Amino acid sequence: MSELIAKERSIVIPGEALAEGMDYLPGQNTYREEEKIYSNVVGLLSLSGRAIKITPLSGPYVPKDGDKIIGRITDITMTSWRVNTGTAYSAMLNVRDATTRFVKNGEDLSKIFSIGEFIVTKITKVTSQKLIDLTMKSPDLYKVSGGRVIKINSQKVPRVIGKQGSMVSLIKNKTGCNITVGQNGFIWLKGEPKGELIAERAIKLIEQKSHQEGLTSKIETFLEEESKNN
């Protein structure tokens, strides 16, 4: 006799019993204790087959291999840069992975990236101790120049990007901004100052209303109204 205690698509809190019995399986962000399955996080419950999983509504960014993120240079060592990625763990960018060109011995590394600058970078490796290795060796990775960087909750990043990038391209089209979304919740906007402002507001709106239905059309009307007002 198995039974679902919490409703599907309802908001659950940590420690809440979700289901009883062995027919259900604990999926993402859940755990089993004896007969019952409990939640680990605050989030929306969803069922896929027999597995119960939770889409978290908040929480810190957990680094993963291959994630494209935006980070800020916080320190320069002899052969590497230390990068703040908005996580509790420190990230390193080695000189080897920073540029494709040859870097001479004793060259001033701050000429390449200096402290305080933002870079769009990719995670190559996360060790078991959660130390992060980064790379810049890819054509879609670059140093951020101009515009503005904003931060949102990293759990809302999929909402900002939308299905196959539909949301982000909508904002791009309406505001004329270049938008780069990092998986860690850092977003780089560059365009006309007015467009940047509207895009920033739209993204903050998505962050606020991320779990509501018909989000894309809501954002579309918001963008149209905003561009009319200016």
Partner 1 sequence: MIINKETIVELAGKDQRIDGRKLTEYRQPIKIETNISWTAEGSARVQIGETVVMAGVKLSLEKPYNDTPDQGGIMINAELLPLSSPEYEPGPPQIKAIELARVTDRGIREAKAIDMKKLCVLPGEKAWFVIIDIVTINDAGNLFDAANLAALTALKAARFPVVDPKTGAIDYKKKTEEPLPLLKEPLGVTVYKINGKLLVDPNIEEEHSYDARLTVAADEKGTISAMQKGGTQPLTVEEISQMVELALEKADFLRKQLDESLKK
Q: How many CA atoms lie within 13 A of 161 on its CB side?
A: 16
Cβ proximity to partner 1: between 193 and 214 the closer is: 193
Minimum distance from residue 147 beta carbon to partner 1 (Å): 6
106 or 116, CB closer to partner 1?
116
Instruction: Report d(CA 97, CA 134) in Å as an integer.
Output: 7
Q: Output the smallest distance, CB 22 to partner 1, in A.
A: 45
Contact residues for partner 1, defined by CB under 8 A = 72, 146-151, 186, 193-194, 197
Min CB(129)–partner 1 separation in Å: 25
Rounded CA separation 103/76 (Å) = 15
Rounded Cα–Cα distance for residues 29 and 59 (Å): 12
Of residues 42 and 150, the one with the C-beta less far from partner 1:
150
Q: Decide whether 25 or 149 has the Cβ nearer to partner 1.
A: 149
Q: What whole-number distance in Å separates Cα of residue 8 and Cα of residue 115?
A: 47
Residue 149: CB minimum distance to partner 1, A: 5
Task: Name residue, tokens 């979700």.
Answer: 18
Alpha-carbon span 43 to 157, nearest angstrom: 15
| Contact between 91 and 85 (Cβ < 8 Å) | yes
